[in-house]
């Protein structure tokens, strides 16, 4: 089975994803390739846009053919030059696919989906599977309060809608993602399969149960949708609720100093006089991230929308109970009260109360909650996602006639 993975964002490498060069979907793509490459009957091809990064060593060590397509611009792209870059990418991809003739193409993200949509208009008829990343349109509805109709009128919304309509099948990353894709874009549920991501349990494993300080940890890209200002306002209330825990601290992992300043984090911390209580750590690799998780007693997730939400799952695998807002993909990865809690999506007080509750648990009761957290993370395994994707590929190949440009 000759499969081509097409990714416009750039090199699918964990290091790039968690250092905020590219989105979290590339972590999923990388791990999908990592585990699929172990199957001898697969012939894997990766096409990605030149983003200024070297071909990742993780991929170079796998039995995978890798081709970096020069598209004229390095990451990040502005709206002004996105279409120019896409047009160059489309032409190069079309030529490469014609020469190498994969049996099926799996795209990740709206831009690579758009590439396939344009190539189909030129006659490319290779079966096409698409993974949308909690589409930007859905996220805009949540972040900016736009109506669905308003969100769909811009060019990116139209692009995403066209990709979902024209592909042969959609891989959704959670049941909530599947429901939103179906209800907002009118896609038949039978066209969507849920393949939940996994985590690397050799990196994210439990430990340090007896010596954890009252540390709250969070992580993610420095973007408005992650809503870290909400977390800081919650933390201000936590400090007031647990004055007897003098070592209470908040750690936020991700991005860099400039990105944090752009979304106003240093400013709000200074406003609340919390400089001594909050620590920032730039984006780190997964090993160091797991070490940070094992320092903390709680993971706090405050994103306004997540397609899946890998970070709280990774934290729980390290034995760190999670307190997350009750929205989107967060709802599909945990059970309220078992290994953590959901909080009212709009209530800073509710989140502060539940964080404080866990901080105040006796060590014995916290360890019980920690063991529950580990249990919730066990089912998320990368081989499960690979198997689901391969089943989708096989169904499409069994019923499709392949033709090329």
Beta bridge partners of 67: 47
Angle of helix 286-293 versus helix 310-317 axis, rounded to 10: 60
Calculate the CA 244 to chain-centre distance.
36
pLDDT score, position 141 = 45
* Distance (Å, whole) CA 353 – CA 341: 11
Sorted by where each begins, the domain ranges of the chain are: 2-198+382-399, 215-377
CATH fold of the domain at 215-377: Rossmann fold (3.40.50)
Q: What is the mean pLDDT of residues 336-356?
A: 96
Torsion of Cα atoms, 346 then 254 then 82 then 304, to 10°: -10
* Distance (Å, whole) CA 285 – CA 254: 10
- Report pTM: 0.86
Domain 2-198+382-399 has CATH 3.40.50.2000: yes
343 sits in the region (left: phi over 0; alpha: psi -120 to 50; else beta) called beta
72 CB burial (10 A radius; 0-12, 13-18, 19+): middle
Can 2-198+382-399 and 215-377 be said to share one CATH topology?
A: yes
Mean pLDDT, all residues of the chain: 85
Please write the tens of the pLDDT for every residue from 170-229.
Answer: 999 888 888 888 887 889 999 999 999 998 999 999 999 988 999 999 999 888 889 999
* Distance (Å, whole) CA 122 – CA 75: 28
pLDDT score, position 218 = 97
Cβ contact 380:199 at 8 Å? yes
pLDDT score, position 72 = 61
């Amino acid at each position: 089975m000759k499969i081509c993975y097409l990714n416009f964002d750039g090199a699918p490498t964990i290091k790039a994803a968690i250092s905020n060069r590219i989105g979290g979907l590339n972590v999923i793509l990388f791990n999908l390739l990592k585990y699929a490459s172990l199957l001898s009957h697969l012939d894997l091809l990766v096409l990605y846009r030149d983003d200024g990064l070297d071909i990742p060593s993780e991929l170079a060590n796998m039995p995978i053919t890798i081709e970096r397509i020069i598209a004229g611009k390095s990451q990040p792209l502005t709206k002004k030059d996105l279409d120019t870059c896409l047009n160059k990418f489309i032409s190069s991809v079309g030529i490469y696919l014609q020469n190498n003739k994969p049996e099926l193409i799996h795209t990740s993200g709206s831009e690579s989906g758009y590439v396939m949509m344009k190539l189909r208009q030129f006659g490319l008829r290779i079966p096409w599977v698409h993974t949308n990343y909690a589409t930007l349109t859905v996220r805009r509805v949540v972040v900016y309060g736009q109506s669905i109709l308003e969100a769909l009128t811009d060019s990116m919304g139209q692009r995403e809608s066209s990709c979902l309509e024209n592909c042969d099948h959609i891989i959704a990353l959670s049941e909530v993602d599947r429901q939103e894709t179906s209800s907002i874009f009118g896609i038949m549920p039978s066209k969507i399969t849920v393949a939940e991501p996994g985590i690397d349990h050799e990196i994210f494993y439990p430990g340090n149960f007896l010596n954890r300080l009252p540390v709250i940890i969070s992580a993610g890209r420095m973007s408005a949708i992650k809503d870290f200002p909400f977390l800081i306002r919650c933390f201000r209330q936590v400090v007031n609720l647990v004055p007897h825990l003098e070592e209470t601290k908040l750690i936020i992992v991700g991005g860099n100093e400039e990105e944090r300043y752009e979304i106003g984090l240093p400013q709000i911390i200074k406003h609340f006089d919390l400089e001594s209580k909050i620590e920032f750590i730039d984006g780190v690799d997964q090993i160091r991230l797991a070490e940070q998780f094992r320092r903390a007693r709680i993971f706090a997730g405050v994103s306004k929308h997540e397609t899946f939400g890998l970070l709280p799952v990774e934290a729980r695998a390290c034995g760190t109970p999670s307190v997350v807002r009750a929205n989107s993909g967060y709802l599909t990865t945990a059970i309220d009260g078992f290994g953590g809690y959901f909080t009212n999506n709009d209530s800073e007080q509710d989140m502060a109360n539940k964080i404080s509750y866990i901080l105040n648990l006796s060590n014995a009761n916290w360890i019980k909650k920690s063991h529950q957290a580990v249990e919730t993370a066990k089912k998320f395994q990368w081989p499960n996602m690979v198997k689901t994707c391969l089943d989708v590929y096989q169904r499409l190949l069994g019923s499709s006639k392949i033709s090329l440009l």
